[in-house]
Chain A
Amino acid sequence: MDKPLNNKAWFFVLPVFFLVAISAIIPLMTVVNYSFQDTFGNNQFFWVGTEWYTDVLSSSRFHDALLRNLMFSGIILAIEIPLGIAIALSMPRKGIWVPVCLILMALPLLIPWNVVGTIWQVFGRADIGLLGHTLAELGVDYNYATNATDAWITIVIMDVWHWTSLVVLLCYSGLVAIPEAYYQAARIDGASKWKVFRYIQLPKMQRVLLIAVLLRFMDSFMIYTEPFVLTGGGPGNSTTFLSIDLVKMAIGQFDLGPAAAMSIIYFLIILLLCWVFYTLMTNFGVDAPEKEVD
């Protein structure tokens, strides 16, 4: 087939390209630009090479924050993914309770980040908060503002409360897509509940789980608002995550160069880890047509 060659199609791409350029590419390149320069204000910049990168990568401040991020994302994934699967499994598949459950599940997702932070900040206060006060009455010494463990627990619970629903909804969509015949065949084959989960439900949920893991990883790795509202990064530096540190550096101290270098590193880490997750999960249980498995 002969197709007349012309480049008119580029005009269709142009509007999107324009939008993406303004919203992502140009800002990103500006940040790249900053990360190789230093400034003393007055719009005067001079070239420093990779100095900021070396600085950031060798600073213990960055290492600590990165470690906190990794730990936080690890905890979040370890709780939200199994919990989300478990809730999705126990939700009804048909009947009038389906919409009720779905709406209940969707509710936390409708609440903005900073509101969630404020809700929990008030909720956890020992003097006026329901949770904080109740715990205090029970004799539990709970204070997220002074105790690092309490602060962590609160932020984790907050995130689990806010975002497990997303995992639930994704898993649920994967579960309802499984044809009834699979369950019937499993019954006929005498499979136990666990085997039904292991060999039917889990493999069929693989795709949505991949999305859930990626979304929850990216979001939790970028966590900012909740600790910012609740603890402001404290007590001490115990909840100072990369994002909080970054804002402190860029806006608090106006260290544009190091902050820019840090953003680029931060961005690359997320990109790398997402790629790792994606590769691991898409290759799990899949093999090339001729490959044999034991």
Chain B
Amino acid sequence: MAQITLDKLAHSYLPNPKSDADFALKQIDYVWEDGGAYALLGPSGCGKTTLLNIISGLLLPSKGNVLFDTADVTHLSPEQRNIAQVFQFPVIYDTMTVEQNLAFPLINRGVEKHEVKKRVSEMLEILDLTDKARRRARGLSADEKQKISLGRGLVRYDVNAILFDEPLTVIDPHMKWQLRTQLKELHEQFNHTMIYVTHDQTEALTFADKVVVMYEGEVVQIGTPEQLFDEPEHTFVGYFIGSPGMNILPGSVSGNTVNMADHSFSLDRHYEPISGTTEIGIRPEFIHVADAASAGANGMPLHVKAVENIGRHKIVRGSVNGHNVDAVIQEDANVPAEAFAVIDTARLNVYSNSHLVRGSR
């Protein structure tokens, strides 16, 4: 197990990258703590698989270095780095049995026979595959196959990290839940450093202690699920995390007064003058829908377009002075005929050129 350091890492698939746009992965400096459970979250094509392949050694970065603890492994091959990777589609050795599949990486590394036997039977136990040990791997279901590919990594006690590249893509929904829970348990049991690539926020937020959000080749925020929810550092994070995403409205800020959608609010914090495009972000969870009588000073007339019942909540889709605004209300709450959107000003975020600006109290 190891702490993984990314030192001024960047990658371009072009031989001679010139501008910033040529980089699939823009410069990143980060330390992945030993034993941490991380998720790399972002839309398709944001560079998360590129980053993962650089860490695993399948890809040589154009710039910068990868360090495992203090050793520079940038130029080492995946087997020299001693990592494990689970791919989007289950990779198994068709002609081998489940047992043989699990033993394969050990035999290739010259581990002794009885030791191989011991570890394989342990791993079968952990993965709940003991009764299928002697079956050919090709006949198994997708989730069992994915367990085998995970097992081939875990069977080596000393792996430095286990990397997952959207491992649940082809798994049936009800098995997804089970497999994710099992992953979590395995992490607690073995304490391997785990890096999990996904574009599914639920997967990322439930699996990881820390989520790395990527957007267009750039890491836009690294934080706990709570931080991503409360204080998205980039409008993309606000929009991408949460369902529905954060409301982002054009506005302006001066001192402790915020203007948005032709309304102004006073805040409990103070902002320095902001240059660049200013936007105000507010999560739908922090907008209340009220009637005229209880709206108060912070209420903005809300033109309701639709109300969606999603079970425990209702989503109110509407607009304030022509700007789209979503709000989340309780399942049993009613939307008044003359509705007002009331903003919790303490939970409002200010963005300049898409990046978060913090105020001072």
Contacts of B89 in A (CB 8 A): 179, 181
- Chain B residue nearest to A285 in the complex (CB): B95
User: Is the CB–CB distance between B136 and A185 below 8 Å?
Assistant: no
User: Is the CB–CB distance between A185 and B91 below 8 Å?
Assistant: yes
Rounded to whole angstroms, the CA-CA distance of A179 and B135 in the bound complex is 24
User: Is the CB–CB distance between A204 and B87 below 8 Å?
Assistant: no
User: Is the CB–CB distance between B91 and A182 below 8 Å?
Assistant: yes
User: Is the CB–CB distance between A184 and B87 below 8 Å?
Assistant: yes
Partner of B85, one of A184, A203, A293: A184
Partner of B134, one of A179, A182, A192, A292: A292
Tell whether A188 pairs with B79 under 8 Å between CB atoms, given A179-B89, A182-B91, A204-B94.
yes
Rounded to whole angstroms, the CA-CA distance of A203 and B77 in the bound complex is 25
Contacts of A199 in B (CB 8 A): 93-96, 104
User: Is the CB–CB distance between A185 and B87 below 8 Å?
Assistant: yes
Tally inter-chain residue pairs, CB-CB below 8 A: 68
- Chain B residue nearest to A287 in the complex (CB): B136
Contacts of A203 in B (CB 8 A): 93-95
**A187 interface hit (Cβ, 8 Å):** yes
Tell whether A181 pairs with B91 under 8 Å between CB atoms, given A187-B58, A188-B84, A190-B105.
yes
User: Is the CB–CB distance between B93 and A285 below 8 Å?
Assistant: no
**B12 interface hit (Cβ, 8 Å):** no
**A289 interface hit (Cβ, 8 Å):** yes
- Chain B residue nearest to A179 in the complex (CB): B89
- Chain B residue nearest to A191 in the complex (CB): B108
Chain A stretch 223-251: residues in CB contact (< 8 A) with chain B? none
- A-contact bits for B89-115, CB 8 A (1 contact / 0 none): 101011111000000110011000000
User: Is the CB–CB distance between A293 and B134 below 8 Å?
Assistant: yes
B287 to chain A, nearest CB (A): 44
Partner of A188, one of B83, B93, B136, B138: B83
- Chain B residue nearest to A187 in the complex (CB): B78
**A200 interface hit (Cβ, 8 Å):** yes
User: Is the CB–CB distance between A184 and B78 below 8 Å?
Assistant: yes
**A189 interface hit (Cβ, 8 Å):** yes
User: Is the CB–CB distance between B56 and A188 below 8 Å?
Assistant: yes
Chain A stretch 161-187: residues in CB contact (< 8 A) with chain B? 179, 181-182, 184-185, 187
- B-contact bits for A2-42, CB 8 A (1 contact / 0 none): 00000000000000000000000000000000000000000
Rounded to whole angstroms, the CA-CA distance of A294 and B136 in the bound complex is 10
Contacts of B77 in A (CB 8 A): 187
Contacts of B278 in A (CB 8 A): none
B50 to chain A, nearest CB (A): 14
Rounded to whole angstroms, the CA-CA distance of A190 and B79 in the bound complex is 5
Contacts of A181 in B (CB 8 A): 87-89, 91
**A63 interface hit (Cβ, 8 Å):** no
- A-contact bits for B67-90, CB 8 A (1 contact / 0 none): 000000000011100011101110
**A195 interface hit (Cβ, 8 Å):** yes
Partner of B136, one of A187, A190, A200, A293: A293
Contacts of A187 in B (CB 8 A): 58, 77-79
Partner of A189, one of B58, B95, B105, B135: B105
Contacts of A188 in B (CB 8 A): 56, 78-79, 83-85, 105, 153
Contacts of B138 in A (CB 8 A): 286
Tell whether A200 pairs with B93 under 8 Å between CB atoms, given A189-B108, A191-B104.
yes
Contacts of A285 in B (CB 8 A): 94-95, 136
Known: A181-B89, A181-B91, A286-B138. 18 other contacts (CB 8 A): A179-B91, A181-B88, A182-B91, A185-B91, A185-B152, A187-B77, A188-B153, A189-B104, A189-B105, A189-B108, A189-B152, A200-B93, A203-B93, A286-B136, A287-B136, A289-B139, A293-B97, A294-B134
What are the 9 A-B residue pairs with the smallest beta carbon separation, nearest first? A190-B108, A185-B91, A181-B87, A190-B79, A189-B105, A292-B134, A188-B78, A199-B93, A203-B94
